[in-house]
Amino acid sequence: MSLYADRYGLDAVACRIGSFLPEPETVRHLSTWLSHDDCVRMVEASLTTPAPGFAALYGISANTRGWWDLEAGRALGYDPQDDAEEFADRIDRRDADDAEAAHVGGPFATEEFYRSALDRA
């Protein structure tokens, strides 16, 4: 997308959406959660910012435990208001939490989903 934005003078915003759920369900979600209201704010900022060129932003709320930098979104006018920490006392710790937090891809980057690039099945 960046190539086309640069080559053809297009405006494009890539929203890297975290965990888009009504409320966080795991410890990982306390870092990656995007509330429905903040999603609306993110999309509105992405569509209304004048001439963004190419921009990539993380679609997460203003989570106390957030891993990702919100500055690229703030530069477009995205001002998240919600925080997953509000739900922290409702979330039980699980054995899988550490493994899921070890990679940006979360549970999809764990051994359970590993398949060699040479496998054809």
CATH number of domain containing 16: 3.40.50.720
Give residue-wise pLDDT tens across range 26-37.
999 999 999 999
Give residue-wise pLDDT tens across range 78-95.
999 999 999 999 999 998
Model pTM?
A: 0.85
Would you call 60 exposed, middle or buried from its count of C-beta atoms within 10 A (0-12, 13-18, 19+)? buried
Structure tokens at 13: 């915003």
User: Residue 48: which domain range?
Assistant: 2-92
Taking a C-beta distance cutoff of 8 angstroms, is the pair 79, 60 a contact? no
Taking a C-beta distance cutoff of 8 angstroms, is the pair 80, 41 a contact? yes
Inside any domain, residue 67 = yes
Give residue-wise pLDDT tens across range 21-69.
999 999 999 999 999 999 999 999 999 999 999 999 999 999 999 999 9
Inside any domain, residue 29 = yes
Taking a C-beta distance cutoff of 8 angstroms, is the pair 70, 64 a contact? no
Structure tokens at 115: 């398949």
Q: Where are the beta strands (DSSP E) in the chain?
A: 12-17, 19-20, 33-34, 54-59
Report the domain count for the chain: 1
Inside any domain, residue 88 = yes
